[in-house]
Protein backbone atom coordinates (compact mmCIF):
# COMPACT_ATOMS: atom_id res chain seq x y z
CA UNK A 1 0.00 0.00 0.00
CA UNK A 2 1.25 3.50 -0.79
CA UNK A 3 0.70 5.59 2.30
CA UNK A 4 1.22 9.34 2.75
CA UNK A 5 1.45 10.58 6.34
CA UNK A 6 1.26 14.26 7.28
CA UNK A 7 2.91 15.55 10.44
CA UNK A 8 1.77 19.00 11.66
CA UNK A 9 4.74 19.73 13.93
CA UNK A 10 8.43 20.23 13.29
CA UNK A 11 10.25 16.94 12.84
CA UNK A 12 13.32 18.29 14.66
CA UNK A 13 11.43 19.15 17.84
CA UNK A 14 10.79 16.22 20.19
CA UNK A 15 7.11 15.59 20.75
CA UNK A 16 4.52 12.89 21.21
CA UNK A 17 2.91 13.35 17.80
CA UNK A 18 6.23 13.25 15.98
CA UNK A 19 7.31 10.13 17.85
CA UNK A 20 3.97 8.50 17.11
CA UNK A 21 4.36 9.22 13.39
CA UNK A 22 7.96 8.02 13.30
CA UNK A 23 7.12 4.73 15.03
CA UNK A 24 4.00 4.18 12.93
CA UNK A 25 5.85 4.91 9.69
CA UNK A 26 8.68 2.57 10.60
CA UNK A 27 6.30 -0.19 11.64
CA UNK A 28 4.43 0.16 8.33
CA UNK A 29 7.67 0.13 6.35
CA UNK A 30 8.73 -2.93 8.30
CA UNK A 31 5.46 -4.57 7.23
CA UNK A 32 6.38 -3.94 3.61
CA UNK A 33 4.39 -0.82 2.80
CA UNK A 34 5.53 2.19 0.87
CA UNK A 35 5.40 5.13 3.28
CA UNK A 36 6.17 8.79 2.76
CA UNK A 37 5.91 11.39 5.55
CA UNK A 38 5.74 15.13 5.00
CA UNK A 39 6.64 17.29 7.95
CA UNK A 40 7.82 20.81 8.73
CA UNK A 41 11.57 20.72 9.34
CA UNK A 42 14.49 23.09 9.30
CA UNK A 43 16.35 22.87 6.02
CA UNK A 44 19.55 21.62 7.61
CA UNK A 45 17.94 18.90 9.70
CA UNK A 46 18.97 15.42 8.63
CA UNK A 47 15.74 13.56 7.87
CA UNK A 48 15.10 9.83 7.59
CA UNK A 49 14.76 8.72 3.95
CA UNK A 50 10.97 8.40 4.21
CA UNK A 51 10.47 12.02 5.38
CA UNK A 52 9.98 14.95 3.01
CA UNK A 53 10.65 18.37 4.50
CA UNK A 54 7.96 21.01 3.99
CA UNK A 55 10.10 23.94 5.03
CA UNK A 56 10.66 25.61 8.33
CA UNK A 57 7.78 25.89 10.79
CA UNK A 58 7.06 29.41 12.00
CA UNK A 59 6.57 30.17 15.68
CA UNK A 60 3.14 31.75 16.12
CA UNK A 61 0.85 32.29 19.06
CA UNK A 62 -1.91 29.71 19.12
CA UNK A 63 -4.30 28.92 21.95
CA UNK A 64 -2.36 30.96 24.47
CA UNK A 65 1.08 29.54 23.78
CA UNK A 66 3.60 29.74 20.98
CA UNK A 67 3.51 26.82 18.58
CA UNK A 68 5.77 26.12 15.63
CA UNK A 69 3.43 25.54 12.71
CA UNK A 70 3.44 25.43 8.93
CA UNK A 71 0.74 27.44 7.22
CA UNK A 72 0.26 29.67 4.23
CA UNK A 73 0.04 29.08 0.53
CA UNK A 74 3.72 28.14 0.12
CA UNK A 75 3.33 25.25 2.53
CA UNK A 76 0.07 24.38 0.80
CA UNK A 77 1.76 24.20 -2.57
CA UNK A 78 4.55 22.02 -1.14
CA UNK A 79 1.94 19.61 0.20
CA UNK A 80 0.15 19.66 -3.13
CA UNK A 81 3.33 18.79 -4.97
CA UNK A 82 4.02 15.97 -2.52
CA UNK A 83 0.49 14.60 -2.95
CA UNK A 84 0.76 14.91 -6.69
CA UNK A 85 4.05 13.04 -6.90
CA UNK A 86 3.24 10.48 -4.22
CA UNK A 87 0.39 8.65 -5.92
CA UNK A 88 -0.83 7.49 -2.51
CA UNK A 89 -3.56 4.97 -1.91
CA UNK A 90 -4.39 6.64 1.37
CA UNK A 91 -3.49 9.88 3.10
CA UNK A 92 -3.10 9.84 6.88
CA UNK A 93 -3.18 13.28 8.52
CA UNK A 94 -2.46 13.89 12.20
CA UNK A 95 -4.15 16.61 14.28
CA UNK A 96 -6.11 18.10 11.38
CA UNK A 97 -7.70 20.71 13.64
CA UNK A 98 -4.37 22.41 14.24
CA UNK A 99 -3.62 25.19 11.74
CA UNK A 100 -0.70 23.43 10.13
CA UNK A 101 0.28 20.98 7.38
CA UNK A 102 -2.41 18.39 8.12
CA UNK A 103 -5.22 20.87 7.64
CA UNK A 104 -3.56 22.07 4.44
CA UNK A 105 -3.24 18.47 3.23
CA UNK A 106 -6.98 17.92 3.76
CA UNK A 107 -7.57 21.08 1.81
CA UNK A 108 -5.43 20.32 -1.22
CA UNK A 109 -6.08 16.58 -1.53
CA UNK A 110 -9.01 14.45 -2.45
CA UNK A 111 -9.54 10.73 -2.04
CA UNK A 112 -9.34 8.49 1.02
CA UNK A 113 -8.11 10.49 4.01
CA UNK A 114 -7.65 9.11 7.53
CA UNK A 115 -7.16 11.51 10.45
CA UNK A 116 -5.70 10.80 13.88
CA UNK A 117 -6.70 13.01 16.78
CA UNK A 118 -4.14 13.07 19.58
CA UNK A 119 -5.39 15.84 21.83
CA UNK A 120 -8.97 16.74 21.22
CA UNK A 121 -9.51 20.40 21.94
CA UNK A 122 -13.08 21.17 22.92
CA UNK A 123 -14.71 22.92 20.02
CA UNK A 124 -14.35 26.59 20.63
CA UNK A 125 -15.95 29.57 19.03
CA UNK A 126 -12.91 29.77 16.81
CA UNK A 127 -13.86 26.61 15.03
CA UNK A 128 -17.47 27.73 14.77
CA UNK A 129 -16.54 31.06 13.27
CA UNK A 130 -14.07 29.66 10.77
CA UNK A 131 -16.14 26.57 10.21
CA UNK A 132 -17.22 27.49 6.70
CA UNK A 133 -13.54 27.86 5.92
CA UNK A 134 -12.58 24.61 7.61
CA UNK A 135 -15.58 22.57 6.63
CA UNK A 136 -14.54 21.75 3.09
CA UNK A 137 -11.13 20.67 4.32
CA UNK A 138 -12.27 18.61 7.30
CA UNK A 139 -15.24 17.03 5.58
CA UNK A 140 -12.91 15.13 3.30
CA UNK A 141 -11.76 12.97 6.17
CA UNK A 142 -13.24 9.53 5.65
CA UNK A 143 -12.08 7.84 8.83
CA UNK A 144 -11.01 9.16 12.20
CA UNK A 145 -8.74 7.57 14.78
CA UNK A 146 -8.44 8.76 18.37
CA UNK A 147 -5.40 7.72 20.41
CA UNK A 148 -7.33 7.50 23.66
CA UNK A 149 -10.87 7.12 24.89
CA UNK A 150 -10.61 10.63 26.34
CA UNK A 151 -9.66 12.09 22.97
CA UNK A 152 -12.52 10.22 21.36
CA UNK A 153 -15.05 11.47 23.91
CA UNK A 154 -14.02 15.09 23.37
CA UNK A 155 -14.22 14.55 19.65
CA UNK A 156 -17.70 13.04 19.81
CA UNK A 157 -19.04 15.65 22.21
CA UNK A 158 -17.48 18.77 20.78
CA UNK A 159 -16.63 18.26 17.17
CA UNK A 160 -19.14 15.66 16.12
CA UNK A 161 -18.66 12.44 14.25
CA UNK A 162 -17.07 9.36 15.71
CA UNK A 163 -13.65 7.81 15.83
CA UNK A 164 -12.05 4.41 16.33
CA UNK A 165 -9.78 4.27 19.35
CA UNK A 166 -6.31 2.98 18.51
CA UNK A 167 -3.90 3.69 21.35
CA UNK A 168 -0.28 4.68 20.91
CA UNK A 169 2.03 1.78 20.39
CA UNK A 170 5.36 1.10 22.03
CA UNK A 171 8.39 0.50 19.84
CA UNK A 172 9.35 -2.36 22.12
CA UNK A 173 12.49 -3.30 20.18
CA UNK A 174 13.95 0.11 20.96
CA UNK A 175 13.64 -0.52 24.69
CA UNK A 176 14.90 -4.05 24.98
CA UNK A 177 18.62 -3.30 25.23
CA UNK A 178 20.51 -0.33 26.58
CA UNK A 179 23.65 0.43 28.56
CA UNK A 180 22.82 1.42 32.18
CA UNK A 181 24.06 4.83 33.30
CA UNK A 182 27.56 4.53 34.83
CA UNK A 183 27.37 3.31 38.42
CA UNK A 184 23.74 2.29 38.29
CA UNK A 185 21.81 0.49 39.69
CA UNK A 186 24.49 -0.07 42.36
CA UNK A 187 24.66 -2.61 45.13
CA UNK A 188 22.06 -1.01 47.39
CA UNK A 189 19.34 -1.13 44.75
CA UNK A 190 17.64 1.64 42.81
CA UNK A 191 14.12 2.81 42.09
CA UNK A 192 13.27 4.82 38.98
CA UNK A 193 10.70 7.46 38.10
CA UNK A 194 9.96 9.17 34.78
CA UNK A 195 7.59 12.07 34.27
CA UNK A 196 6.91 15.69 35.06
CA UNK A 197 8.06 16.36 38.61
CA UNK A 198 5.62 19.19 39.29
CA UNK A 199 2.49 17.57 37.87
CA UNK A 200 0.70 16.29 40.99
CA UNK A 201 -1.13 13.56 39.11
CA UNK A 202 2.17 11.95 38.14
CA UNK A 203 2.41 11.12 41.82
CA UNK A 204 6.04 11.88 42.61
CA UNK A 205 4.98 13.05 46.08
CA UNK A 206 3.72 9.53 46.92
CA UNK A 207 6.97 8.00 45.74
CA UNK A 208 9.09 10.43 47.76
CA UNK A 209 7.17 9.56 50.92
CA UNK A 210 7.57 5.85 50.22
CA UNK A 211 11.26 6.35 49.51
CA UNK A 212 11.63 7.97 52.92
CA UNK A 213 10.12 4.87 54.53
CA UNK A 214 12.27 2.49 52.44
CA UNK A 215 15.41 4.59 52.88
CA UNK A 216 15.38 4.19 56.64
CA UNK A 217 16.39 0.52 56.69
CA UNK A 218 18.02 0.33 53.24
CA UNK A 219 21.12 2.48 53.50
CA UNK A 220 22.29 1.93 49.90
CA UNK A 221 18.96 2.43 48.16
CA UNK A 222 18.87 5.26 45.62
CA UNK A 223 16.15 6.99 43.62
CA UNK A 224 16.67 7.99 39.98
CA UNK A 225 14.29 10.71 38.82
CA UNK A 226 14.10 11.88 35.21
CA UNK A 227 11.68 14.47 33.92
CA UNK A 228 11.23 18.19 33.46
CA UNK A 229 10.18 20.55 36.23
CA UNK A 230 9.97 24.28 36.65
CA UNK A 231 12.03 24.02 39.84
CA UNK A 232 13.73 20.65 40.18
CA UNK A 233 15.68 21.53 43.34
CA UNK A 234 12.39 22.06 45.13
CA UNK A 235 11.85 18.31 44.95
CA UNK A 236 14.83 17.70 47.21
CA UNK A 237 13.41 19.92 49.90
CA UNK A 238 10.39 17.67 50.15
CA UNK A 239 12.50 14.92 51.75
CA UNK A 240 14.56 14.99 54.95
CA UNK A 241 18.14 16.23 54.59
CA UNK A 242 19.77 12.83 55.31
CA UNK A 243 18.02 11.38 52.27
CA UNK A 244 18.79 14.07 49.74
CA UNK A 245 22.10 12.81 48.41
CA UNK A 246 20.43 9.51 47.57
CA UNK A 247 18.05 11.12 45.09
CA UNK A 248 19.50 11.82 41.66
CA UNK A 249 17.63 14.29 39.48
CA UNK A 250 18.42 14.08 35.76
CA UNK A 251 16.00 16.70 34.48
CA UNK A 252 14.58 16.21 31.02
CA UNK A 253 16.38 13.40 29.21
CA UNK A 254 16.66 12.49 25.55
CA UNK A 255 14.83 9.53 24.11
CA UNK A 256 17.99 7.40 24.22
CA UNK A 257 18.83 8.41 27.77
CA UNK A 258 15.30 7.60 28.84
CA UNK A 259 15.86 4.02 27.79
CA UNK A 260 19.18 3.94 29.65
CA UNK A 261 17.42 5.26 32.74
CA UNK A 262 14.97 2.36 32.56
CA UNK A 263 17.87 -0.08 32.42
CA UNK A 264 19.59 1.64 35.35
CA UNK A 265 17.08 0.72 38.04
CA UNK A 266 15.94 -2.44 39.79
CA UNK A 267 12.35 -1.33 40.16
CA UNK A 268 10.40 1.19 38.13
CA UNK A 269 7.64 3.07 39.85
CA UNK A 270 4.50 4.59 38.29
CA UNK A 271 2.82 6.30 41.24
CA UNK A 272 0.26 8.25 39.16
CA UNK A 273 -2.86 9.22 41.03
CA UNK A 274 -5.01 9.52 37.91
CA UNK A 275 -5.35 11.30 34.61
CA UNK A 276 -3.58 8.56 32.74
CA UNK A 277 -5.43 6.93 29.87
CA UNK A 278 -2.84 4.37 28.90
CA UNK A 279 0.41 4.89 30.73
CA UNK A 280 2.88 4.90 27.89
CA UNK A 281 5.83 5.33 30.26
CA UNK A 282 4.79 2.26 32.21
CA UNK A 283 4.52 0.28 28.99
CA UNK A 284 7.98 1.47 27.98
CA UNK A 285 9.41 0.32 31.31
CA UNK A 286 7.78 -3.05 30.73
CA UNK A 287 9.32 -3.21 27.27
CA UNK A 288 12.71 -2.58 28.86
CA UNK A 289 12.04 -5.54 31.14
CA UNK A 290 12.13 -3.54 34.37
CA UNK A 291 9.87 -4.85 37.13
CA UNK A 292 7.13 -2.26 37.63
CA UNK A 293 5.33 -1.10 40.76
CA UNK A 294 2.31 0.94 39.73
CA UNK A 295 -0.67 2.50 41.40
CA UNK A 296 -3.93 0.67 41.09
CA UNK A 297 -5.62 2.89 38.51
CA UNK A 298 -7.58 1.45 35.59
CA UNK A 299 -4.95 2.25 32.98
CA UNK A 300 -2.17 0.45 34.87
CA UNK A 301 -4.37 -2.44 35.98
CA UNK A 302 -5.06 -3.05 32.31
CA UNK A 303 -1.53 -2.75 30.99
CA UNK A 304 -0.12 -4.85 33.86
CA UNK A 305 -2.75 -7.57 33.35
CA UNK A 306 -4.31 -6.98 36.75
CA UNK A 307 -1.00 -7.43 38.55
CA UNK A 308 0.43 -10.42 36.73
CA UNK A 309 3.00 -8.36 34.86
CA UNK A 310 3.83 -5.96 37.66
CA UNK A 311 2.97 -5.11 41.26
CA UNK A 312 -0.01 -2.86 42.00
CA UNK A 313 -0.36 -0.79 45.15
CA UNK A 314 -3.26 1.21 46.60
CA UNK A 315 -3.32 4.50 44.67
CA UNK A 316 -1.86 7.39 46.64
CA UNK A 317 -0.81 5.17 49.58
CA UNK A 318 2.91 5.68 50.24
CA UNK A 319 2.99 2.94 52.90
CA UNK A 320 1.57 0.37 50.52
CA UNK A 321 4.00 1.48 47.82
CA UNK A 322 6.92 1.07 50.25
CA UNK A 323 5.70 -2.42 51.09
CA UNK A 324 5.32 -3.48 47.44
CA UNK A 325 8.60 -1.95 46.31
CA UNK A 326 10.44 -3.33 49.37
CA UNK A 327 9.25 -6.86 48.66
CA UNK A 328 10.42 -6.60 45.07
CA UNK A 329 13.81 -5.18 46.05
CA UNK A 330 14.34 -8.11 48.41
CA UNK A 331 13.30 -10.78 45.95
CA UNK A 332 15.44 -11.10 42.78
CA UNK A 333 13.57 -14.21 41.69
CA UNK A 334 10.24 -12.41 41.77
CA UNK A 335 11.82 -9.51 39.84
CA UNK A 336 12.99 -11.87 37.11
CA UNK A 337 9.51 -13.42 36.87
CA UNK A 338 7.84 -10.02 36.61
CA UNK A 339 10.40 -8.83 34.07
CA UNK A 340 9.66 -11.75 31.77
CA UNK A 341 5.90 -11.35 32.29
CA UNK A 342 6.13 -7.64 31.52
CA UNK A 343 8.01 -8.16 28.28
CA UNK A 344 5.41 -10.74 27.23
CA UNK A 345 2.47 -8.59 28.26
CA UNK A 346 3.66 -5.45 26.53
CA UNK A 347 4.05 -7.26 23.20
CA UNK A 348 0.40 -6.66 22.41
CA UNK A 349 1.06 -2.91 22.57
CA UNK A 350 3.94 -3.11 20.17
CA UNK A 351 3.78 -0.84 17.15
CA UNK A 352 3.74 -3.83 14.80
CA UNK A 353 0.40 -4.82 16.37
CA UNK A 354 -0.93 -1.26 16.52
CA UNK A 355 0.09 -0.62 12.91
CA UNK A 356 -2.02 -3.60 11.86
CA UNK A 357 -5.06 -1.92 13.44
CA UNK A 358 -4.25 1.32 11.63
CA UNK A 359 -3.82 -0.59 8.40
CA UNK A 360 -7.28 -2.06 8.81
CA UNK A 361 -8.65 1.49 8.95
CA UNK A 362 -6.75 2.31 5.77
CA UNK A 363 -8.14 -0.73 4.03
CA UNK A 364 -11.68 0.23 5.02
CA UNK A 365 -11.54 3.79 3.71
CA UNK A 366 -9.83 2.73 0.51
CA UNK A 367 -12.75 0.43 -0.37
CA UNK A 368 -14.72 1.84 -3.25
CA UNK A 369 -12.58 4.92 -3.41
CA UNK A 370 -10.09 6.25 -5.87
CA UNK A 371 -6.50 7.16 -5.14
CA UNK A 372 -5.41 10.27 -3.35
CA UNK A 373 -5.12 13.14 -5.81
CA UNK A 374 -4.89 16.88 -5.83
CA UNK A 375 -8.38 18.26 -5.31
CA UNK A 376 -9.79 19.79 -8.46
CA UNK A 377 -11.26 22.83 -6.81
CA UNK A 378 -7.96 24.01 -5.38
CA UNK A 379 -5.99 22.96 -8.44
CA UNK A 380 -5.33 26.46 -9.62
CA UNK A 381 -4.06 27.92 -6.40
CA UNK A 382 -5.14 30.18 -4.95
CA UNK A 383 -8.78 29.81 -5.69
CA UNK A 384 -11.85 30.45 -3.65
CA UNK A 385 -13.50 27.29 -4.81
CA UNK A 386 -13.30 25.66 -1.40
CA UNK A 387 -15.75 28.12 0.10
CA UNK A 388 -19.21 26.66 0.50
Partner 1 sequence: MTITDIVLIVAAALFIGVYVSWRAGRIDRLHARVDMARAALDATLLRRSSVSLELATSGLLDPATSLLLAAAVHGTRSAGPGGVVPTEAGRPRDLAESDLTRALRAAFSQPDFRSSMTGKEGADELLAEVEEATHQVFLARKFYNDVVALTREARSRPLARLLRLSGKAPAPVFFDMDDSLIADLPSATLAPPAGSAPLAG
Q: Which of 52/282 has CB closer to partner 1?
A: 52
Size of interface with partner 1, in residues (CB under 8 A): 35
Verify binding: residue 109, partner 1, rule CB under 8 A.
Answer: no
Task: Please pick, from the candidates 103, 109, 206, 262, the single residue that binds partner 1 as defined by CB under 8 A.
Answer: 103
Tell whether the torsion through CA atoms of 241, 242, 244 and 245 is positive or negative. Answer: positive
Distance CA 83, CA 8 (A): 15
3-state secondary structure 250-312: EECCCHHHHHHHHCCCCEEEECCCCCCCCCHHHHHHHHCCCCEEEECCHHHHHHCHHHCCCEE
CB under 8 A: which stretch of 16-24, 97-105, 239-247, 313-321 binds partner 1?
97-105
**String of contacts with partner 1 for each residue 118-157, x by CB under 8 A:** ------xxxx-xx-xxx--x--------------------
Residues whose CB is less than 8 angstroms from the CB of residue 23 and which lie 6 or more positions away in sequence, other chains included: 169, 171, 351
* Nearer to partner 1 (CB atom), residue 140 or residue 335: 140
How far is the CA of 199 from the CAs of 119, 255, 291, in angstroms? Answer: 18, 20, 24
Segment near partner 1 (CB under 8 A), from 45-53, 72-80, 300-308, 326-334? 72-80
CA distances from 321 to 227, 237, 352 (A): 21, 21, 33
Among 4, 53, 99, 316, binds partner 1 (CB under 8 A): 99
Measured over the CA atoms of residue 155, residue 59, residue 126 and residue 139, the dihedral's sign is negative
CB of 279 to partner 1, least distance (A): 31
Is 387 an interacting residue with respect to partner 1 (CB under 8 A)?
yes
Q: Which of 32, 49, 61, 219 binds partner 1 (CB under 8 A)?
A: 61
Q: Which residues contact 92 (CB under 8 A, 6 or more apart)?
A: 3, 4, 5, 6, 113, 114, 115, 116, 358, 362
Q: For residues 98 and 328, what is the distance between their CA atoms, to the nearest angstrom?
A: 45
> Considering the rule CB under 8 A, would residue 115 count as an interface residue with partner 1?
no
3-state secondary structure of 121: coil
Q: By CB under 8 A, tell whether 69 contacts partner 1.
A: yes
Task: Answer whether 175's CB lies under 8 Å from 262's CB.
Answer: yes
Stretches 96-104, 165-173, 212-220, 328-336: which one binds partner 1 (CB under 8 A)? 96-104
Nearer to partner 1 by Cβ, of 127 and 205: the residue is 127
Q: Give the integer Cα–Cα distance in Å for 272 and 104.
A: 38
* Nearest distance in Å: CB 64, partner 1: 6
Cβ nearer to partner 1, comparing 184 with 386: 386
* 84 interacts with partner 1 by CB under 8 A: no
Contacting residue, 14, 16, 48, 73, with partner 1 by CB under 8 A: 73
Write the Ramachandran bin of 294: left for phi over 0, alpha for psi from -120 to 50, otherwise beta.
beta
Of the candidate residues 10, 18, 52, 100, the single one contacting partner 1 (CB under 8 A): 100
Q: Is 54 in the site for partner 1 (CB under 8 A)?
A: no
Nearest CA among 62, 56, 60 for reference residue 78 = 56
Binder of partner 1 out of 71, 82, 211, 313 (CB under 8 A): 71
Q: Considering the complex, what minimum distance in angstroms separates the CB of residue 370 from partner 1?
A: 23
Shortest distance in whole angstroms from residue 301 CB to partner 1: 38
> Using the rule CB under 8 A, which residue among 75, 116, 168, 264 binds partner 1?
75
Q: Which is nearer to partner 1, 64 or 160 (CB)?
A: 64
Task: Give the interface with partner 1 as residue ranges (CB under 8 A).
Answer: 58, 60-64, 69-76, 99-101, 103-104, 106-107, 124-127, 129-130, 132-134, 137, 382, 384, 386-387
Amino acid sequence: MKIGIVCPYSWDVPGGVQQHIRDLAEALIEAGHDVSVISPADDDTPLPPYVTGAGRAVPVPYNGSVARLSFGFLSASRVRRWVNQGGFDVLHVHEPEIPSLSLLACWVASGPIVATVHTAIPRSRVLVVTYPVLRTALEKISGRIAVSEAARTTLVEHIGGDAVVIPNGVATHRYRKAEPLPGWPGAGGAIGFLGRLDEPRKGLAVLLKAFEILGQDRPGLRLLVAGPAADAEEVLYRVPAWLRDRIVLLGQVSEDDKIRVLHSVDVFCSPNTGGESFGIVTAEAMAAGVPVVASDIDAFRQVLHGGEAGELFATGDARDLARAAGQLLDDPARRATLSAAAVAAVARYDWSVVARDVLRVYETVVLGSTRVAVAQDTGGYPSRGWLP
